[in-house]
Structure 1
Amino acid sequence: MFIFNDKENTIETDRLLLRRFTLDDSQAVAHICNSAAIQKNTLTLPDPYTEESAIEWISNQEQNNKQDKCYDYAITDKVTDRILGCVSLAVFKNGYIAELGYWISPDVWNKGIATEAARALIKYGFEIKEFHKIVAKHFKYNGASGRVMEKTGMKKEGTQEKHVLKNDLYEDIVLYGIINPQES
């Protein structure tokens, strides 16, 4: 199921509601993003990740959305509204390619949450925003993220060796992509 509500700017799936973050979410965001597991698998989160970090990040989202720079959605349980993570599309300057990103609370890993949210945002990116291509990347050591990308239909496009500096080590990055099927 994929239901986009333009008025509310929400996306509904079988189990999830993807909605805009609000400042009321800052404590939950800080709790998830301060997790060692999340810190290990993301590149740009401050460590420690404080509630102030979350407030600053959430406060910037409205402008980024209006300027078509980035679309960040809270991944929430459709029944309880509990925040389970984030899924986003960051738009490249050319305007026709976007990068998918996500982080999921470790206590709900291996339940298909990331895959369900990523599939929905890819559909949004192609059907609503009409992107030509959506790309994603993960640290080579994070194979679980690669499996999520593959389950969404993305194809592995290559590896950038020793490409980013993380915790004083250069890490390999694995690249994935998918072309808008409406263009085939």
Structure 2
Amino acid sequence: MAFGPDWGVKDWDDEAITSIIQSEIDRSWRVRGIGDFAVGLRRDTSIASTANTAESHGPKVLDMGEEQRLEQTEWVGYVGVRDATTTSMLGGETHHPTSRPWVQMIELRYGYNPDVWGKGYGMEAARAIIWWCEEHIKAQRFIAETQTNNLGSGKILRKCGFTEILEKDEVIWGVKGEQEWELWAGKSCLELSPTILTIKE
């Protein structure tokens, strides 16, 4: 969740991860229609885009067809969004109550296998989900939280257009040793359109 090496790599069994996934479905997908997406690597880089015209806006959509099926994909992490006013904390709300509407409290979160850190996948996936949220739920603002010493995650957020939230302006979680970030919709660097892959079964 953008917390870097201090957070550690979790090794959960199927029962534990099924419970976590079900909780996210119940608290995010069923409530707001948002949640986590798996991030996998595309093997064939020669596939032509189906939406790479000069007039197209948003991400390029590549149709993988039969080139790569789900079971052949190398899964390297996840990227997700959730309503930070109701689902971000275990107690069901943020540490600091907010009067903002939930579309201004969309939390961006992600986690990747350390083997793929520094290869640009985090930024690509973050930009894709930001675009998706702006298009599908009319998100107005995104927020995120990183450890202050996690320079890699800070770099991803900055490249996506995020800026640091100053404590005098707003406190969302207020966790010591962590930096809070925000990005207002339409201010991200999405002119470098992300690529969203669709895999047919």
What's the TM-score once normalised by structure 1's chain length? 0.64
Deviates more, 1:140-149 or 1:79-88: 79-88
1:178 to partner: Cα distance? 0.9
1:126 maps to 2:134: yes
AA paired with 2:161? G
Contact 1:87–1:102 at 8 Å: present in 2 too?
A: yes
Identity, % of aligned positions: 21
- Any gaps of 5 or more consecutive residues in structure 2? 44-71, 86-100, 188-201
Q: Distance in 1 between matches of 2:75 and 2:154?
A: 23
Is the 1:115–1:151 contact (alpha carbons within 8 Å) kept by the matching residues of 2?
yes
Q: Following the alignment from structure 1 to structure 2, what is the Cα–Cα distance between the partners of residues 157 and 38?
A: 19
Aligned length: 137
Counterpart in the other structure of 1:58: 21
Q: Per chain length, whose mean CA-contact separation is higher, i.e. which structure has more relative contact order (CA < 8 Å, sep 6+)?
A: 2
2:5 and 2:154 mapped to 1: Cα distance?
A: 17
- Structure 1: 5+ residue stretches without partners: 1-32, 165-170
Shift of 1:41: 3.3
Greater helix share, 1 or 2?
A: 1
User: Structure 2: how far apart are the matches of 1:174 and 1:60?
Assistant: 26
- Kindly report the root-mean-square deviation, in angstroms, between the aligned alpha carbons of the 2 structures: 2.8
- Is 2:90 aligned against 1:85? no
The 5 Å alignment of 1:20-169 reads 40-41=6-7, 49-63=12-26, 64-68=28-32, 70-79=34-43, 80-93=72-85, 94-96=101-103, 97-158=105-166, 163-164=174-175
1:175 partnered with 2:180: yes
Shift of 1:61: 3.5
In the TM superposition, residue 39 of structure 1 has moved relative to its aligned partner by 6.5
Bigger fraction of residues in strand: 1
Worse overlay, 151-160 or 72-81: 151-160
Q: Which residue identity lines up with residue 67 of structure 1 in the other structure?
A: V
Distance 1:140 1:39 in 2: 12
1:125-159 per-position Cα deviation (integer Å, ceiling 9, x unaligned): 11221011001110111111100000111112236
Specify the structure having the higher radius of gyration (Cα). Answer: 2
